[in-house]
């Protein structure tokens, strides 16, 4: 496939993604959550701290978008995907922020202070290459899906009146994002199998979740995040292996990565590593 043929294939995939999103996945922060149910509810502090943490990670959206658009310049399908993806991601931090505010867990002033502290730091993309960032995107979106699915179950067990629905809607978006990136990886594999496999191996070994260590009070958040239940083995069995399976690959298809880049599969995914050390 030439560069142009690849871009045309990306564009077709984007149209499919966008059509499906418009038909089946649109939701409204203000009308699709029954916020009135929060009245008289005393939110669980652990769930609140997690919601605040994820809200913070989602707030680096301008940095994520900038990186995406810079790398995808001249690529119509990928750039339009980024614009649409940015709209969807913008709702994620907003809906979590609304939960924190409407539940009374955080005041408006606290939320503005938090936004200032979060946005005072800048997220830098871990890879300077579109194909690696696509692989990173597939992993990161699927990991986020798994984290939100677990939060949903946790919020359910605590009887939170709105958080399970919040996490259901957000997790459904994350899954759709991951599946789009997966289709991009398939196209890359068809175009340059050896190079794409090398990038897959490299990103798997160096993957970290974005931005978590940029957040204020990182150490406290790590403590609470242990309850999210994402450890290295969950990362391997619920993210890495399903992703490889969807691509028709096993770990044995991946080439070895030079020693300085390699730790072991999977790479150290930020908070996930800390969660893992809790057992
Ligand atoms: Fe998100
Ligand atoms: Fe996402």
CATH number (domain holding residue 251): 1.10.620.20
Separation of alpha carbons 220 and 228, rounded Å: 14
**Is residue 239, in this structure, part of any structural domain at all?**
yes
**Is residue 29, in this structure, part of any structural domain at all?**
no
The predicted structure's pLDDT at residue 194? 96
Q: How far is CA 241 from CA 26, 36, 47, 261, 275, in A?
A: 29, 41, 28, 21, 19
**Is residue 36, in this structure, part of any structural domain at all?**
no
Separation of alpha carbons 66 and 61, rounded Å: 8
Query: What is the CA(92)–ligand 1 centre distance, in A?
Result: 5
Query: What is the CA(180)–ligand 1 centre distance, in A?
Result: 14
The predicted structure's pLDDT at residue 163? 98
**Is residue 34, in this structure, part of any structural domain at all?**
no
For residue 255, what is the DSSP state?
P
Separation of alpha carbons 159 and 189, rounded Å: 45
Q: What is the span of the domain harbouring residue 238?
A: 3-24+41-277
Break the chain down into helix, strand, coil percent, rounded to 5: 70, 0, 30
The predicted structure's pLDDT at residue 227? 65
**Per-residue tokens: 277:** 């050390």
Ligand number with the minimum distance to the CA of 96: 1
Is 263 within 8 Å of 208 (Cβ atoms)?
no
**Is residue 33, in this structure, part of any structural domain at all?**
no
Mean pLDDT of residues grouped by 10 in the chain (279 residues)?
A: 87 96 98 97 94 93 91 89 95 98 98 95 91 95 94 96 98 98 96 96 89 79 71 89 96 81 45 34
Query: What is the CA(95)–ligand 1 centre distance, in A?
Result: 10
The predicted structure's pLDDT at residue 273? 38
Query: What is the CA(40)–ligand 2 centre distance, in A?
Result: 32
Exposure string over 177-212, b if 16+ CB within 10 A, otherwise e: bbbbbbbbbbbbbebeeeebbbbbbbbbbbbbbbbb
What's the number of domains the chain is made of?
A: 1
């Amino acid at each position: 496939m030439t560069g142009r043929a690849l871009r045309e294939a990306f564009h077709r995939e984007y149209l499919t993604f966008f059509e499906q999103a418009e038909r089946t996945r649109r939701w409204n922060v203000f009308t699709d959550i029954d916020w009135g149910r929060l009245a008289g509810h005393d939110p669980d502090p652990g769930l609140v701290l997690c919601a605040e943490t994820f809200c913070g990670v989602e707030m680096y959206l301008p940095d994520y978008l900038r990186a995406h658009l810079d790398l995808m310049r001249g690529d119509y399908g990928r750039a339009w995907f980024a614009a649409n993806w940015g709209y969807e991601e913008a709702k994620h931090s907003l809906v979590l922020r609304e939960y924190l505010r409407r539940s009374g867990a955080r005041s408006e002033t606290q939320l503005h202070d938090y936004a200032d502290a979060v946005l005072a730091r800048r997220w830098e993309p871990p890879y300077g290459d579109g194909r690696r960032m696509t692989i990173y995107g597939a992993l990161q979106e699927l990991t986020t899906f798994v984290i939100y699915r677990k939060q949903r179950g946790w919020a359910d067990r605590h009887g939170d009146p709105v958080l399970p629905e919040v996490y259901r809607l957000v997790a459904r978006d994350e899954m759709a994002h991951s599946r789009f990136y997966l289709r991009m990886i398939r196209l890359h594999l068809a175009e340059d199998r050896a190079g794409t496999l090398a990038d897959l191996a490299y990103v798997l070994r160096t993957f970290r979740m974005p931005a978590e260590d940029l957040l204020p009070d990182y150490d406290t958040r790590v403590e609470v995040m242990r309850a999210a239940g994402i450890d290295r083995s969950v990362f391997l069995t619920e993210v890495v292996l399903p992703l490889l399976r969807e691509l028709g690959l096993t770990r044995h298809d991946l080439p070895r990565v030079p020693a300085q880049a390699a730790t072991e599969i999977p790479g150290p995914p930020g908070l996930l590593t800390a969660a893992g050390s809790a057992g």
